[in-house]
Structure 1
Amino acid sequence: MTTIAKKLQELGHALPPVKTPAANYLSYTLQGNLLIIAGQIGRPGAAKGVVVGAGLSPELAKQEAEIAALGVLAVIDVATNGDISRIAQVQRLGVFIATTPDFDGHSAIANGASDLFVAVLGERGRHARTAIGVSSLPTGAAVEVDAIVTLVAA
């Protein structure tokens, strides 16, 4: 069985531990074959007090999107017991980026998450996506990523 962790290792990444939810919510919910993953952030406080367009480079924010996507993959790993074959399709990614109001390069930053999903899952990792600029994110994070994934019936 190919695992999510093994595929990430082949790509030079490690699967991070799943973070305990910071408030009254779950890391994921599963309804039938639909897996909904709560938002995962990059490094807490990595950009504290700075946003894209005012002190944080788009390149660093793209790296933060990839780190947040690793967190989403870690939750998927838990939900599927690591079995990559359980993933039928990533349906949607939501990428939230702390930016100034005039910043308009959201898509390039969100590619940090999207590119990782496609590298790990191939065509099953292609997805619809929303990339949104916001004034702030929890714990001063620069990027937050959530996901909706269809699983193969167990």
Structure 2
Amino acid sequence: MTTISQKLQELGHSLPAVKTPAANYLSYTLQGNLLIIAGQIGRPGSAKAGVVGAGLTAEAAKQDAEIAALGVLAIIDAVTEGNIARIAQVQRLGVFIAATADFDGHSAIANGASDLFVAVLGERGRHARTAIGVASLPTGAAVEVDAIVQLVAA
């Protein structure tokens, strides 16, 4: 059995620990075979956190999108016990980017998350996506990623 962790190691990544929710919400919900994952953020409070177009580069934000996607994958890994075969399809990613009003490169930043999902899961990682610019994100994060994933019955 190929695991999510093994695929990430092949790509030079490792799974982070699943974070405890910061407020009154769940990290994920599971309704039947539909896994809904709460937003995961990149590097809160770091030198790389901030607003794209106001001191933070699009390339740094794209890396943050990849880091946030690793957080989403960590939750998928926990729910599926690492078994990639349990993932039928990533249905949707939502990517929220703290950016100035005149910034318009949201899709390129969101590719940091999308590219990682496809690299790890192949065709099952392809998804519908929304990339949205926002004024700010929790703890000063530059990027937040949430997901809806269809699972195969265990």
Q: Give the alignment's TM-score, normalised by structure 1.
A: 0.97
Q: Equivalent pairs: percent with the same residue?
A: 86
Residue-by-residue CA offset, 1:21-49 (whole Å, 9 max, x unaligned): 00111111000000000000001113587
Give SS of 2:97's match: strand
**Which structure 1 segments of 5+ residues have no match?**
none
Match of 1:78 in 2: 78
Aligned pair 1:145/2:145, yes or no? yes
Partner of 2:147, secondary structure, is strand
Amino acid at match of 2:144: E
Equivalent in the alignment of 1:110: 110
Structure 1 partner of 2:22: 22
Structure 2 Cα separation of the partners of residues 26 and 7 of structure 1: 27
2:44 pairs with 1:40: no
Instruction: Specify the code of the residue in structure 2 equivalent to 1:50.
Output: G
How has the CA–CA distance of structure 1 residues 3 and 69 changed in structure 2, closer, same or farther, with 3 Å as cutoff? Answer: same
Unmatched tracts of structure 2, length 5 or more: none
RMSD: 1.1
4+ aligned runs moved over 4 Å, structure 1 = none
User: Which residue in the other structure is 1:12 paired with?
Assistant: 12
Is the contact between residue 40 and residue 71 of structure 2 (CA under 8 Å) also seen in structure 1? yes
SS state at 2:145 partner: strand
Matches within 5 A, 1:52-63: 52-63=52-63
Q: Does 1:92 align with 2:92?
A: yes
Which letter maps to 1:23?
A
Residues matched between the structures, number? 154
Q: What per-residue deviation string (whole Å, max 9, x for no partner) do you get for residues 106-138 of structure 1?
A: 000000000000000000000000000001000
Structure 1 residues 49 and 143: alpha-carbon distance in aligned structure 2, compared to 1, 3 A threshold? closer
Rounded to whole Å, the distance in 2 between the matches of 1:68 and 1:7 is 17
TM-score (norm: length of structure 2): 0.97
Tell me the residue number matched to 1:127: 127
- Please list the CA deviations of residues 56-101 of structure 1 after superposition, one character each: whole Å capped at 9, or x if unmatched: 0000000000000000000000111111110000000000000001
CA contact (8 A) 1:47 1:141 kept: no
Q: Name the SS of the counterpart of 1:97 in structure 2.
A: strand
Deviates further, 75-84 or 105-114: 75-84
